[in-house]
Structure 1
């Protein structure tokens, strides 16, 4: 209505001089409309008047008025009418019969206009009505529909307004009734009057609304109850009382009185007359109380309790002095009390404020503040100011157990004290200190960075309203601090700053979790200078130092290790931006730069040097330097960048770029160290290129030249909208450097074009040994849909350099398609090979005649493959594998008559079936059963000598690259972390129930049994054992029957053996034991009672004491030791194998007579042996394995003696 009233008044002013004219309408855009729009519009306010009629008559109409700001129209007034008396205006009275508006729409609140802050004058002014040049009398004020959109108050509403207004001769008489159209029972009635003549004030406000009304919704009162607010009072200003009451749902919530009363004070002055001058003062008092809990959210009700009370009293003098003698605000948890004394002119004489928050239950209470729920266990506030004490002031605030989502604070305190000088303005200075203890930000990364305890300290001074001085304002944590000192001037104008700031962090590791990587080191930085942030002016210097920085980035950490110093100076003014100094000096990296940047002419130079490129790229060594010069003339940048690296490596980049988009770039590079990455490339690799743009089209031409005539060309056009037409042609000569078996040259050529968002590719490559491939199709960048096809064949040997020491040979054919969004789900086709071979030196074995087919579809690969083991037997694998993590698989492997041998010490055969189920990347299970046939283990050939220690780890110092590469190819360099890849579950049954022969060093034994392998590949858990069936130990012609023998698996499937044979004499019992890892067993001779090992050995061999042995017997002991060390027994092994026997033994029996024994398997479960001694005695033994646990044994000799027995053996 304010704008409507202003409009009407404006119409009146224009009407007066023209009242006698007959014109009573104004065309759109006419003189009056234009004048009104121009007069009423202003900063961020735009008025538009449409359909003005009868501007100079007694009945004026306006079809529409809109008011807008920079964000659009926010107020619309439709169908406004005015009926008024033009003659009354001649008597200086604005008399209106009717002022109406059909509709007013408020779409939102107007965008505020930023204005310079203006402090109110310190002097108070007595109330009086404005004296207008004309009396205003409106008999009827009506708005049929006032629409308030939701953005205005958070809820949409439609209102109507009816009222009257009279303002004449210093007297106000008004009546206003506002009714909500969609809720007629919701209304506001206001009657107000005032007279300047007798200072008589009358007020009658009555607000009523039902549940869910505008005020309860806007104030977010729980359950939006019905509200009633009244304020009534009448009387002179020097003796006025207003009764105020607030109710909800018919229950009183807050009530009380506001009083104004005249006071009289003798000012003590004498003007020479008999009368004493008196100054009129107004005393004021307010006492309001009630139970506000029903109006508050449930979590706030404990804070307020059953009664909230405000009691305030004071006085206001006509000369501007004011005092509050009593301020008392209380609730169940809050106590706030204070006083204030302000002298004439606004000078504060004294102030006191004390407050406390004490939870009623003694635990904590939720504060009634906006935002997330905030609770506190206690708080105390104290403020003191005394002008009589030199303007000294003091402030203290303490908090206990503050908590809100994302924050907990055990204790916080802040204090400040100083002096307020009001002698010539408002100058304040002081010191500030504070501390936060037990801080918990509910985030591990933030807690680690900030710490539990923080302190604040420093000094400040505000000499006037325009400046603020800070001295050593410091925020400190456990091992970090930030300090600032300076002067901020022009707070209301330019915001000019001058000073310095310093930051120290002694351990950057505390910020590791926040950065998401392991940080380390210490940093100190100091920034000093001056500037005007609002204007963008500054002149600053920065000096920083760091030690032992760590970023957690492997390529960066070597560059920032040790001590680094950084220094910079920069300034910006109306002439441009200048970097007069930038230097970085570190142990590995150093740099310098200067720049002078202006709108039209600019220059910049830089130099950087790395002492050893090997810090970043391990294959290279030597310094690298990069330098450059840039310049801008008018609207064009130009420059050159040079680089010098290890060996003869160089690079130069020159170019020009204009603001119109034109450009011209050339580069020329040579790299002499390619052999450090690919040893087969010897020589210099050169690269040259040129690119130019006319502002809409780039033309590029690049060429790469390598040794032996190898090259690669890329040429084409690229438009600014992204369309492109590119061609490439490449040739790699002498590929036998990479794949020795296939000499020749590989060539590739093709084209790639882009139209709109679609790339089209057509390329092919050919090479020796039937190598060929082609690629064609399209890719739409906008939809990421591909339609690509690849066909051809490749030599598998090309992969050998990536899988050493293993190797593969053969030709792979592929026919693949990619249709849909690029990814494995969209890949289909077939990859196959026939007659390929795979060598696995670490096993050691090889697969030949490999036939394999892989069918790809829907993100899965169906694998079918088979091959023949080099030493005999076949293996076939089949099943599906998912191509996306975790790569679920369901594979089956069939083992048929596999010959397992190292051609030295172990030979066996295996049959079985294995299955893999589950994710290949971890969590799957390998299960199955493998049955081993006859197995022969020669312990003499396994380790060379009993007790021989393995070769220790060798640390190679100054190892040549060729030697290291040889060891790498041989698989002798470990680069892993020892975890051995993902954990695969194991459930394997290894069966070797009989015919496991262990021979060598005088040992002849047959074993049988089974081993189960469980656990995972990271934690193998074997169980079971291969145990002795029969066996002897021959040493110095003496045969000892084995008492004990077994082979078990330990740890990561390490075979461990344990054999023992004993002999008893009248001197005691001697035992010979061979035990330990299969490839490095140890021999030990013991006796009972205990004797030295050489005496135990003598007793074992000869049944005599060592001291009584003849030289011949001692020589025999030496011969026995030779047999134990693996240097004897070779003839017997060759004789046994030549005769086709499983066992051959030539020695002596218990009486010392010569004896010959032979043994052999008649079938898988029948074993027989025959022994003949020098006395002509013959014995035949027959063993029949009925089951795994039950064996029948029979014996017959030439004397007619026979025996038969059943033996039950069970492995627990």
Structure 2
């Protein structure tokens, strides 16, 4: 029987399977003789302009294949070529049955890994494959050698995680039912992973030794979207055994002298170290330790089960001791804590426990920040990839909500206890609060809820030298780390009760001067500061009144004042300068907590002394 094909369009196949999207033409011929059990003959086929939906974006391929049928075997001399230097060749012979020996040599040059994207659209593979292989043995028990090289390897997932493009150099052999490998993976920044040993071609036991070093800095392009940064190098050396359905891992990993910071919370961890030991079905976190900016410590330990089907369930306990966990211009928090991370770590674990504050400083600006409006129509041109991702996250709310695609997402159930030492300072205000709040939400979008209540006796506001004691106060949280304020101070002032109301967020508080009975704001300030109505002020007093109005209405900059800088330099919890009691000219008060529940304060005043 002889078959001649002049020019057959491959698109004919699309009528039977529209998803193929085939293009190109087939030409050539074949001659077949002899019985079906032992055919003889030869073939010479050519395909030009081959395209397919599964190979979208890949240049058209050309295929030439020649060979013969004889003695129960088929020989081939096949070449696949395409643009960009793509070339795959296969030469040798194979049995027509499943029992005869294989004898095939394969060479691969410049094959784009994007071919795989047609079969897995979300893969987003990039890179180039080169290699050689010689296959012998039988189809049921192949033998041979191989050498494969991949350059520029990346996928949509690895690019999204900020992992640099990798190179793979793999050499090994086939021996019956197992494949033996000596593989090295390298990437920028010194990333290097090696794998040596064997794995089954089907079901069976693994026998691999895997080790390497991974500088964590490669994650920073992705972490920068949320204001995170990590530096340091992780090392590991493990043996992977057991069946492919339930692998067992034995070995160790370590992290030494690393650092982590989060710009949004002002958290800084230094000297970050960890030791991990794997013993079969469990990975034990033997130690985890870091030092915070103020010299406090965070430590942890626990275990994780090597059970992919269950989402790697585990339990890791964390302790904090005198640790500064928030350090922004608005809030500084130093805490002790006992927290537990438990559940399927690769899915949606839970973080629960208790945080006990040692001190929290909430610094409000000494002047109300001036308001501004962003310029409309501003566009970023040629922005780096990291900036583009950050802008996209902000524009879509990704900086707050988190998503199911976050690398790690945990549910939060944390109690924050603070009996005292919640200090609110700035704009002449010194107040102390305490209480409890709850942190819920997720690790990507924590939601603090609740309020700290005013502690009476050491809370006041000084308005241009005039001191008022607070009669009401609350620091509330409604979803972020910028708390809301609700404070009221009042005092008698020339026929009225002058009131100072502080509300709004700590980053941009609102100051209102009211009174009972009600009078205009400048009149309240005049009676409060000078015990006079505004019409009775001298020129210098009028200037002072104007300055006060400007200070509390948003004119000028912010920041901590000199009195607060002096307090921090002295290392005390309270420093108060004001008028002396009983008509004194000057009063000084200093106080500090000497234990959790004991506060020591000293007040000294001066009085005018008549000449002798």
Name the TM tier (shorter chain).
0.7 to 0.9
Q: Of the candidates 315, 334, 340, which is equivalent to residue 890 of structure 1?
A: 315
CA distance in 2 between partners of 1:1026 and 1:824 (Å): 54
Equivalent of 1:937 in 338, 352, 362: 362
Matched, 1:806 2:231: no
Tell me how large the CA RMSD over aligned residues is. Answer: 4.3
Deviations 1:1164-1203 (A, max 9, x none): 31332314244369xxxxxxxxxxxxxxxxxxxxxxxxxx
2:107 is matched with 701
- 1:1100-1152 alpha-carbon deviations (Å, 9 max, x no partner): 44444445545433321232234434658733333444555544444446887
1:410 aligns to what? none
Q: 1:690 matched to which residue of 2?
A: 88
Following TM superposition, by how much is the alpha carbon of 1:930 offset from its aligned partner in structure 2, in angstroms?
2.5
1:453-486 per-residue CA deviation (whole Å, 9 max, x = no partner) reads xxxxxxxxxxxxxxxxxxxxxxxxxxxxxxxxxx
The alpha-carbon distance between structure 1 residues 1173 and 934, as it changes in their structure 2 partners (threshold 3 A), is same
Once residues 817 and 777 of structure 1 are traced to their aligned partners in structure 2, the CA distance between those partners, rounded to angstroms, is 9
Q: After the TM superposition, which residues 448-847 of structure 1 pair with which residues of structure 2 at under 5 Å, given as runs?
A: 600-604=5-9, 628-634=24-30, 636-641=44-49, 651-657=59-65, 662=76, 664-670=78-84, 688-696=86-94, 697-704=103-110, 713-718=130-135, 721=139, 723=142, 724-729=144-149, 749-764=169-184, 773-804=193-224, 806-823=228-245, 825-847=247-269
SS at match of 1:651: coil
CA distance in 2, matches of 1:803, 1:1016: 20
Give the superposition deviation at 1:1082: 1.5
- Post-superposition shift, 1:1003? 1.0
Report the Cα offset of residue 1074 of structure 1.
Answer: 1.0
Name the structure 2 match of 1:1131.
562
Query: Does structure 2 conserve the Cα–Cα contact (< 8 Å) formed by 1:655 and 1:663?
Result: no
Summarize deviations over 1:907-931 as a string: whole Å, max 9, x none.
3422232223334356654333333
How far apart are 1:797 and its partner, in Å?
3.2
Partners of 1:825 and 1:857 within 8 A in 2: no
Q: Which of 486, 489, 500 in structure 2 is aligned with 1:1058?
A: 486
**Stretch deviating more after TM superposition (866-875 or 632-641):** 632-641
Q: 2:585 aligns with which of 1135, 1148, 1154?
A: 1154
Q: Does 1:1033 align with 2:461?
A: yes
Aligned equivalents of 2:239, 2:591: Cα separation in 1: 61
Quick check: 1:830–1:855 contact (8 Å CA) kept in 2? yes
Is the 1:1143–1:1159 contact (alpha carbons within 8 Å) kept by the matching residues of 2? Answer: yes
In the other structure, the counterpart of 1:1022 is 449
In structure 2, do the counterparts of structure 1 residues 755 and 855 end up closer, same or farther at CA, with 3 Å as the change threshold? same
Contact kept? 1:892, 1:913, Cα under 8 Å: yes
- Superposition map of 1:889-968 within 5 A: 889-900=314-325, 902=327, 904-920=329-345, 924-940=349-365, 945-946=368-369, 948=371, 957=379, 959-966=380-387, 968=389
Deviations 1:473-518 (A, max 9, x none): xxxxxxxxxxxxxxxxxxxxxxxxxxxxxxxxxxxxxxxxxxxxxx
How much has 1:879 moved relative to structure 2?
0.6
CA distance 1:667–1:825, change in 2 (3 Å): same
Q: 1:732 to 1:1161 in 2, by over 3 A?
A: same
Task: Summarize the Cα distance change of 1:1012–1:889 in structure 2 as closer, same or farther, 3 Å threshold.
Answer: farther
Is the CA contact (8 Å cut-off) linking 1:836 and 1:848 kept in structure 2?
Answer: yes
TM-score (norm 1): 0.39
Q: Which residue of 2 aligns with 1:879?
A: 302
* Correspondence for 1:1011: 436
Per the alignment, residue 1121 of structure 1 pairs with: 549
* Deviation of 1:654 (Å): 1.0
SS in 2 for 1:810: strand
Q: Compared with structure 1, are the counterparts of its residues 1060 and 689 closer, same or farther at alpha carbon in structure 2 (3 Å cutoff)?
A: same
How far apart are 1:1041 and its partner, in Å?
1.7
Structure 2 vs 1, CA of residues 791 and 1162 (structure 1 numbering), >3 Å: closer, same or farther? closer
Structure 2 CA distance for aligned equivalents of residues 602 and 1137 of structure 1: 88
Q: Does 1:868 align with 2:329?
A: no
SS at 1:1081's partner residue? strand
Shift of 1:940: 1.3
2:414 aligned with 1:994, yes or no?
no
Give SS of 1:842's match: coil
The whole-number CA distance in structure 2 between the counterparts of 1:704 and 1:870 is 51
What's the counterpart of residue 118 of structure 2?
Answer: none
Q: Is the Cα–Cα contact under 8 Å of residues 1040 and 1062 in structure 1 kept in the other structure?
A: yes
In 2 relative to 1, CA 1001–631 (structure 1 residues): closer, same or farther, beyond 3 Å?
same
Larger radius of gyration: 1
Separation of aligned partners in 2, 1:1020 and 1:1084: 29
Match for residue 162 of structure 2? none
SS of alignment partner, residue 965 of structure 1: helix
Output the CA distance in 1 between the equivalents of 2:488 and 2:418.
21
Q: Once the 2 structures are TM-superposed, how far is the Cα of residue 641 of structure 1 from its aligned partner?
A: 2.5
- In 1, Cα distance between equivalents of 2:323 and 2:10: 71
Matched, 1:1090 2:518: yes
Unmatched segments (≥5 aa) in structure 2: 13-20, 31-42, 52-56, 95-102, 113-126, 159-164
Conserved? CA contact 1:913–1:928, under 8 Å: yes
Q: Is the 8 A contact 1:917 1:924 kept in 2?
A: yes
Match of 2:34 in 1: none
**C-alpha spacing 1:1137/1:726, structure 2 compared with 1 (3 Å):** closer
Q: Secondary structure at the match of 1:968?
A: helix
Q: Contact between 1:1028 and 1:1044, CA under 8 Å: does it hold in 2?
A: no
Deviation for aligned residue 1:716: 1.6
C-alpha contact (below 8 Å) 1:602/1:633 kept by paired residues: no
Going from structure 1 to structure 2, the CA distance change for 1:994 and 1:1175 (only over 3 Å counts) comes to farther
Quick check: 1:750–1:762 contact (8 Å CA) kept in 2?
yes
Secondary structure of the equivalent of 1:1120?
Answer: helix
Count of aligned pairs? 525
When normalised by structure 2's length, the TM-score is 0.72
Please give the alpha-carbon distance, in whole angstroms, between the structure 1 residues aligned to 2:409 and 2:149.
46
- Offset of 1:749 from its aligned partner? 3.5
- Which is worse superposed, 751-760 or 770-779? 770-779
Contact residue 946 and residue 1082 of structure 1 kept, 8 A = no
Larger RCO (CA within 8 A; separation ≥ 6): 2
Task: Summarize deviations over 1:5-55 as a string: whole Å, max 9, x none.
Answer: xxxxxxxxxxxxxxxxxxxxxxxxxxxxxxxxxxxxxxxxxxxxxxxxxxx
Provide, for residues 751-783 of structure 1, a one-character-per-residue CA deviation record: whole Å limited to 9, x for no partner: 233344322222346789986543222222342
SS in structure 1 of the partner of residue 562 of structure 2: helix
Q: SS of the residue aligned with 2:139?
A: coil
